[in-house]
């Protein structure tokens, strides 16, 4: 049995100090690492992680699930799963590369950049994300990569800001691959990036799968994807976590096993067409309006097709007549009538937003995912005040 070592969540070049300890954890010669961010979340995280208790041999990393509410769940990631993910990513992207870390190491996506670097024997260039993300800072960091083959990982908000800036757009073109995940990426944003000559790869995965394990809808080597009868996505293969620290009940519910091996049952709905997975949104993220169920993610994708939409999140706002009113928060200049007409034409009138609110930016969680609870609150207040 191994022990747990608490580490901080550094920024900038201080992140590089984590590499020796991570290398030891991946090789089995050092303790499992538990990143503990500063602030009020540290106490509940330490309690859930049971830091004074040993972990199973081979456990390398303990991470809180991104965007969790209430008591945090701590995911136990084995060194074998992390290495399998790193090797499969290298294969999928066409070979070894030096990485630019532009994500915080409080989340699995940031840690996977470090894992890939350790496995490849390279040192990443680190962008200080403790301050506001800017294209100028990204371009400067990209310049520090030299002439080596390079990759990076971003969230959609970062990609959008870089594409809007000439220096940022130019910096993106020097990467062999730009992974984009953490939240749904609009088709219009992907089209703009690819038209600019940027090799964008969409990723799907979560902490429980050691990060992204499905690239552009196709599973990485060794990864299995299935969809249950109710549309729930299941993921399997060597990248799976061992379970939730100290929570056997949650582990049994989320991680199952059958003749095909071990699976993780996600909270996402999706479908597979010709071997390509498309995710339609979270199973529990349904808006019920007038007795009809609509999926916000489907509406968000369609709204994102409009050229004047930079970003969009769709939520249900309490409504006396409809139960919930479909409401779109939109960053961009798209006309409300045009948004409704486009959604009606593509998905039907039930899905058309009853309210379209223009906002300067979407409320986001730490890794770039839309903060839907904050979006509901924002929309409710705006509509209540006649907005």
Q: Model confidence over 176-194: pLDDT tens digits?
A: 999 998 777 878 889 999 9
The proportion of the chain whose per-residue pLDDT surpasses 70, expressed as a percent, equals: 97
Residue 90's CB is within 10 A of a number of other CB atoms, namely 18
| Domain identity same for 183 and 93 | yes
Q: What number is the average pLDDT over the span 13-21?
A: 96
Is the predicted pLDDT of residue 68 greater than 50, yes or no?
A: no
Q: Which domain holds residue 250?
A: 4-277
Quote the tokens at residue 255: 């991680």
- 263 and 308 co-located in one domain: no
**114 with 58, same domain?**
yes
The confidence band for 143, taking pLDDT boundaries of 50, 70 and 90, is very high
Which among 277, 294, 314 is the end of a domain? 277
**203 and 124 within one domain:** yes
> Does the pLDDT of residue 70 top 60, yes or no?
no
The pLDDT assigned to 234 comes to: 97
The better pLDDT of the pair 272, 319 is held by: 272
Does residue 384 or residue 90 have the better pLDDT?
A: 90
pLDDT exceeds 70 at position 323: yes
Does residue 41 surpass a pLDDT of 80? no
Which CATH number covers residue 164?
3.40.50.12780
Is 126 found in the same domain as 29?
Answer: yes
pLDDT at 71: 61
3 state SS of 69? coil
Pairing state of beta strands 323-332 and 309-319?
antiparallel
Q: Flag the least confident range among 73-82, 119-128, 300-309.
A: 300-309
Q: What is the pLDDT of residue 182?
A: 76
**In terms of domains, do 145 and 45 share one?**
yes
Q: 375 and 354: one domain?
A: yes
Q: Are residues 89 and 238 in the same domain?
A: yes
262 shares its domain with 369: no
* pLDDT score for 110: 94
Whether 16 and 123 have beta carbons less than 8 Å apart is answered as yes
Same domain, 343 and 247: no
206-217 mean pLDDT: 96
Q: Please give the order of strands across the beta sheet that includes 355-358.
A: 309-319, 323-332, 355-358
Instruction: Decide the pairing of beta strands 74-78 and 243-244.
Output: antiparallel
Please check the confidence at residue 69 and state whether its pLDDT lies above 60. Answer: no
Q: Tell me what pLDDT residue 385 has.
A: 56
**Assigned token pair, 379:** 């929309």
- Domain-terminating residue out of 250, 277, 304: 277
CA distance 313 to 384: 19
239-261: average pLDDT = 94
The total domain count for the chain is: 2
Decide if pLDDT at 327 tops 90.
Answer: yes
Domain endpoint, select from 253, 277, 301: 277
* 305, 257: one domain: no
270 and 357 co-located in one domain: no
What pLDDT is recorded for position 163?
Answer: 95
Q: What value, to the nearest 5°, has the Cα angle with vertex 278 and ends 272 and 66?
A: 125
Percent of the chain residues topping a pLDDT of 90 = 69
Q: How would residue 243 be classed by pLDDT, with cut points 50, 70 and 90?
A: very high
pLDDT, greater one: 240 or 283? 240
Distance CA 52, CA 38 (A): 19
Are residues 206 and 230 in contact, defined by beta-carbon separation less than 8 angstroms? Answer: no
User: What's the length of the chain?
Assistant: 387
pLDDT in tens, 361-383: 999 876 777 888 899 999 999 99
Q: What is the DSSP string of 146-198?
A: TTS-EEEEE-HHHHHHHHTSHHHHHHHTT-SEEEE-SS---HHHHHHHHHTT-
End-to-end CA distance of the chain: 58
Return phi, psi of residue 369, to 5°.
-75, 145
List the beta strands (DSSP E) in 124-230: 125-126, 150-154, 177-180, 200-206, 211-215, 218-219, 224-227
* pLDDT score, position 157: 81
Outline where the chain has alpha helix (H). 19-27, 42-49, 79-92, 108-120, 135-143, 156-163, 166-172, 187-195, 248-254, 296-303, 336-347, 372-384
Instruction: Check: CB of residue 114 under 8 Å from CB of residue 106.
Output: no
Is the pLDDT at 150 greater than 50, yes or no?
A: yes
* Res. 387 pLDDT band, cuts 50 70 90: very low
């Amino acid at each position: 049995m191994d022990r747990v070592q608490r580490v901080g969540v550094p920024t900038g070049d201080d992140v590089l100090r984590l590499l020796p300890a991570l290398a030891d954890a991946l090789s089995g010669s050092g303790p499992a690492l538990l990143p503990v961010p500063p602030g009020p979340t540290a106490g509940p995280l330490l309690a859930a992680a049971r830091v004074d208790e040993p972990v199973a041999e081979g456990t390398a990393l303990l991470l809180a699930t991104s965007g969790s509410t209430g008591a945090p769940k701590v995911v136990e990631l084995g060194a074998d799963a992390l290495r399998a993910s790193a090797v499969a990513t290298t294969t999928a992207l066409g070979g070894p590369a030096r990485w630019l870390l532009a994500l915080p190491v409080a989340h699995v996506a940031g840690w996977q950049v470090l894992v890939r670097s350790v496995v490849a024997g390279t040192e990443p260039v680190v962008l200080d994300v403790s301050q506001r993300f800017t294209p100028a800072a990204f371009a400067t960091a990209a310049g520090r990569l030299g002439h080596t083959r390079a990759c990076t990982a971003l969230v959609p908000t970062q990609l959008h800001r870089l594409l809007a800036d000439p220096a940022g757009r130019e910096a993106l073109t020097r990467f062999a691959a730009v992974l984009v995940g953490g939240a749904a990426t609009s088709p219009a944003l992907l089209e703009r990036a690819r038209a600019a000559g940027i090799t964008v790869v969409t990723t799907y995965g979560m902490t429980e799968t050691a990060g992204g394990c499905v690239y552009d809808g196709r599973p990485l080597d060794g990864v299995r994807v299935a969809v249950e009868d109710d549309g729930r996505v299941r993921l399997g293969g060597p990248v799976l976590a061992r379970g939730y620290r100290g929570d056997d009940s949650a582990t049994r519910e989320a991680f199952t096993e059958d003749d095909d091996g071990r699976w993780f049952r996600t909270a996402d709905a999706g479908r597979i067409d010709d071997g390509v997975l498309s995710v339609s949104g979270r199973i529990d993220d349904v808006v019920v309006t007038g007795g009809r169920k609509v999926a916000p993610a489907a509406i968000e994708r369609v709204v994102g097709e409009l050229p004047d939409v930079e970003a969009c999140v769709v939520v249900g706002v309490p409504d006396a007549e409809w139960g919930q009113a479909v409401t779109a928060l939109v960053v961009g200049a798209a006309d409300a009538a045009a948004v409704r007409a486009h959604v009606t034409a593509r998905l039907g009138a039930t899905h058309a937003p009853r309210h379209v609110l223009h906002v300067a930016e979407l409320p986001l969680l730490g890794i770039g995912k839309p903060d839907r609870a904050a979006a509901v609150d924002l929309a409710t207040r705006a509509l209540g005040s006649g907005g």
